[in-house]
Amino acid sequence: MIEELEIKDLGVIAQTTLPLGPGFTAITGETGAGKTMVVTALSLLMGARSDSSLVRSGAAQARIGGVIGRLNIPAIAALVDEAGGEIEEDELLLSRTVRAEGASRATVGGVRAPVGVLSQLAQHLFCLHGQSDQLRLRSQTEQRETLDRFGGSAIGEALTKYISAYERLSALQQEVSEIAENGAARRREAEQLRAEINEISAVDPQENETAEVAARVEKLAHAEQLRAAVAGAANALSGDDSGADSVDALSILSIAIERVREGAHIDSTLADSLNELESVLAQTQSVARDLFAYGADLEAGGPAELAAAQQRLADLKQLERNYGPELSDVLAYFAAANDRLLLLDQDDDRLAILESELNTAREEHAVAATELSELRSTAAARLSQLVTAELKHLALPETALEISVAPREAGSHGADEVLFLLRSHQGATPAPLARAASGGELSRIMLAIEVVLAGTDPVPTFVFDEIDAGIGGAAAIEVGRRLKKLSQTAQVIVVTHLPQVAAFADNHLRVLKDSAGGYTESSCQQLVGEEREKEIARLLSGLTDSDSAREHARELLDMGVSNL
């Protein structure tokens, strides 16, 4: 539950701290005082989309901080740990900052975290209802999800099983349809792939071959220049035996070695020089042999090899133009084309296999759909009964909720049409909730559903924004009483304008508006004793000093304390 909420520079609220705690908290205040900003702050703390226009005029940023206490939900601990935060002494600190320029950030357990983590935590911590949620209850999607929520893990597991079967069936149907309906196109595709594979196979390209062949062509095209250069270098190193007077590097080195060897017999310090000269001679001989071999290779190549290399390069370049741009792309396309052709060539066999799998998938889907429908029908009867009983306590004694679960074309969430029907009195024909319920009735139906759901799908904190809209008098008293009942098993925070509702609260907060100094600034005050009595009187009559209003306020407060 939320033990404390801090709001700074959000809308008209400059800075305030709301002490919340367990039980039922009512938040009241004059119109425009900033009650809605309290709900906005809570929604931001739950990961709702931020809006820079919410930042108080003149402030750089708005900040909302919350202390979440009495945590005993393993999923919460896991999420906080994954985000890198900490829960200290069973308390979790959450914060949300919205900058005036539009940026937003969050912290979880003392560390910065993606705003999405707040949304994940909110699924386990909060349930927020506003007037938009009442309108959403009119939609069949929301009605189906409400029924599934009531059904708990049994429906949850059945729905997961159904979705898996539905997706498997849909995938198989799509594949069968593609093969059956596009047979001619797939055969043409196979023929084209076969021709392309044959074209590539005829060349048989190798990885990085284009660069290697291009280098070979360049070498062979300049063979005469290379041959002359290499021959000159080789002759300079080892001579060509064309005359006795020829001088080459190897001869000079040999003479030098002989001279140094003679000296080394006299002075042993010349041994190092002798070793180095012998090493140079050996290296020079090796280079000379390589140069002669290189020249011989050029002689062996000739025009025929150049023509073959040029043709090979042209073939590789053509493949790159057709399937490239690089040779690696050609090889990748070749592999993918072979895989695709193998699949296309197996169409007939694959179709037979798919038909068999499709029959099995249809059976599994039908079983899953039937199981889900039966669970929903059972849950619908039970939820209808419990909500109808709750409505009797909310000044709707003749009203009954009936939930219809009827067959429909299978979809992604089942083969059922879930429809909430409202019967206004005995003997009346049930009509769809979307048409039959007024705003005040929708508020009470939603509250009745939440009271029932709290027994099967508990949430630590419920936040209601003007759930009492459109009601008053005895109905408002019953709403206050049921909110009080709900607060016995969960924290309940209600923004209200009705004294009959606020009177049942364990904790009463008033949002105050101060327009002194030429600008509006709001804060929050916890009310007790006489101050609370004055606020209830103001809600009753608009007057805080009226004796009759004060007496009526005391009567309401006494009822809120003593009567559930």
pLDDT in tens, 302-345: 688 888 889 999 999 999 999 989 999 999 999 999 999 988 88
- For residue 560, what pLDDT is reported? 73
Give the count of beta carbons closer than 10 Å to the beta carbon of residue 207: 9
- For residue 279, what pLDDT is reported? 92
Give the side-chain half-sphere CA count within 13 A for 1.
20
- For residue 242, what pLDDT is reported? 52
- For residue 158, what pLDDT is reported? 96
pLDDT tens sequence across 118-135: 988 888 888 887 666 666
Q: Where are the domains of the chain?
A: 191-344
- For residue 192, what pLDDT is reported? 93
pLDDT tens sequence across 379-396: 999 999 999 998 888 888
User: Coil, strand or helix: which one is 486?
Assistant: helix
Q: Which long-range contacts (CB under 8 A, 24 or more apart) does 367-370 make?
A: 367/165, 368/158, 368/161, 368/162, 368/164, 368/165, 368/166, 369/162, 369/165, 369/410, 369/414, 369/415
Asked if 298 and 291 count as a contact pair (C-beta separation under 8 A), the reply is: no
Spatial CB neighbours of 397, under 8 Å, sequence gap ≥ 6? 391
- For residue 482, what pLDDT is reported? 86
pTM for this predicted structure: 0.62
User: Coil, strand or helix: which one is 519?
Assistant: coil
Q: Which two tokens stand for residue 533?
A: 């009595």
Asked if 270 and 263 count as a contact pair (C-beta separation under 8 A), the reply is: yes
Which regions in the chain score pLDDT beneath 70?
71, 130-136, 240-246, 299-302, 515-520, 562-564
